[in-house]
Each structure stands twice: as structure tokens, then as C-alpha cells.
Amino acid sequence: AQSVTQLGSHVSVSEGALVLLRCNYSSSVPPYLFWYVQYPNQGLQLLLKYTSAATLVKGINGFEAEFKKSETSFHLTKPSAHMSDAAEYFCAVSGAGQNFVFGPGTRLSVLP
Amino acid sequence: DAGITQSPRHKVTETGTPVTLRCHQTENHRYMYWYRQDPGHGLRLIHYSYGVKDTDKGEVSDGYSVSRSKTEDFLLTLESATSSQTSVYFCAIAKDGGGYSDTQYFGPGTRLTVL
């Protein structure tokens, strides 16, 4: 069985500051990992995904994430937060024979 | 744009009434999914389909049924709605065959309130 934890249901950063959203997973098979973003009253949009090709994955809007097998982590970062980054972020894991499992989400607030 | 529409977008209903939500895709992808989103739980899979008339249960399927008579439409039915089914429902498709590495693309959601 797979599971995802996201540390911090709500994270606040100042505009221009580093964004770090944490994701840890458990999986009995090699995982595929995803970050999605959800803006208010919208569906989820893919930010980036890890499929074993490279451990550092670059996504849209300046976000990137690093897969660390030893730490079972896939944390999302962005060097400089922008007001438009305010949204909810979901980490998800899948794997052979497994459906997607989503984490509970982290709401990011960006302060001026 | 993932080419997914959901209808209705908002619905208020009463306990015990049947409710059907529709997901429509324009690109004829094989795999389609229904999720519910609740605070603190992220998205949880209700049912999914891997072809016409081929469906399977997800994590939270109790109280829900689905049907897929055409490739482009995936219906979610609450036979007798309960207040615990108040949620936001999302449909998703997988564009690359439905494998576990495939990205899922989401519709805009349906907000359902059961009074």
C-alpha cells in the first residue's frame, strides 16, 4: 500500500522568499511522484512529475522537486515566491499495480 | 485545457435523493477517474474506468456507482445521497494509456451539497 504525508497543512512565506513544501511517501514498489497545484475553485494542474529519469525534476512556474530515495521524500521548492503562487499544493504517488494516492495538501500563502 | 467538462458544476440536494454527476471528455481517452476532495484528505479515488463498460472500485466506493456506456462519458451516481457525501467531485483522465506513470488531467469539479 502507498501513502503520502505533507508536513504542514498551511505554509506562509513572504514574496521573494524561498518556497519549500514537504512531501514524504511510502511505497512497496518503485514510486512515480507528482506535484499538482490547485487554484481556488479550479481543478488540479500538474506542476511536475518524477518517473525515474532524473532525481531533480523541473516543472512549470519555476518550481522543482528532488527525489531522495533514502529519505523517501519529494519536496517541492521555488527560489523566489510570487503572489500568484498562492494556492493549494498536492503531492501524489503511484506505482506498478497501484492507483494514485494523494497527500492531504498544503495551502501556500504569499505575504506582500 | 484537458478537454474535460463536468456537469452540473454545483448541486444542492436533499438526503435520500439520487444524484448523477457527468464527466465528458473530448479526446476519447481510455482511462477515466472519479475522485472526491475533502479538507484534510486530499483527493480520494471513488471509481475508475479503463474502457466502455469496464470499471473498478477505488478507495471510497461505498455508496457510489458508475457507468460508462460511451468512451467520452463517465457517470457517477449516488443512489441515495447522504450528508457525508457533501464534497467536491473531480473527474480525471489519463492521456497516455492509463499506466501508473501517466499524468492524470482534471476537470473543473462539481460542488455537491447534501442537506
Chain A residues within 8 A of B100 when measuring between CB atoms: 32, 94-99
**Cis, peptide link before residue B8, omega less than 30° from 0:** yes
Given a cut of 50, the residues of chain B with pLDDT beneath it are none
Q: In the predicted model, what is the mean pLDDT of chain A?
A: 93
B85: phi then psi, degrees, rounded to nearest 5? -95, 5
Q: Which residue has the cell 458544476?
A: B9
Q: Which residue has the cell 503562487?
A: A85
Cα of B95 to nearest chain A Cα, Å: 13
Give the lowest-confidence range in A20-24, A91-95, B44-48. Answer: A91-95
Q: What one-character DSSP code corresponds to residue A82? A: -
In degrees, rounded to 5, the angle at the alpha carbon of residue A59 between the alpha carbons of residues A100 and B24 is: 50
Any residues with CB less than 8 A from the CB of B36 and at least 6 apart, and which?
Answer: B43, B44, B46, B60, B85, B87, B88, B89, B90
d(CA A107, CA A3): 19
Closest CA in chain A for residue B2: A45
d(CA A57, CA A16): 21
Q: Which of B23, B14, B39 is nearest to B106 (CA)?
A: B23
Q: CA dist A73 to A5, A96, B39, Å?
A: 10, 19, 23
Closest CA in chain A for residue B91: A43
Interface of A with B (CB under 8 A): 4, 9, 32, 34, 36, 41-46, 49, 51, 90, 92, 94-100, 102-105
Q: Which of B44, B33, B46 is nearest to B107 (CA)?
A: B33
Question: How much of chain A, in percent, has pLDDT values that exceed 90?
Answer: 80
Contact state of A44 with B108 under an 8 Å Cβ cutoff: no
pLDDT-derived band at A98 (thresholds 50, 70, 90) equals confident
Query: For position B1, what pLDDT does the model report?
Result: 61
List of E strands, chain B: 4-7, 10-13, 19-25, 31-38, 42-51, 54-57, 64-70, 73-78, 87-94, 104-106, 110-114
Task: Confirm if B25 and B33 have CB atoms less than 8 A apart.
Answer: no
The minimal CB distance from A102 to the residues B42, B105, B109 is found for B42
Query: For position B14, what pLDDT does the model report?
Result: 97
> Which residues are bridge partners to B54 per DSSP?
B51
Q: What one-character DSSP code corresponds to residue B19? A: E
Closest CA in chain A for residue B36: A102
pLDDT tens digits along A40-91: 989 999 999 998 778 999 999 999 999 999 999 999 999 999 999 999 999 9
Chain B residues within 8 A of A43 when measuring between CB atoms: 2, 4, 90, 106-109
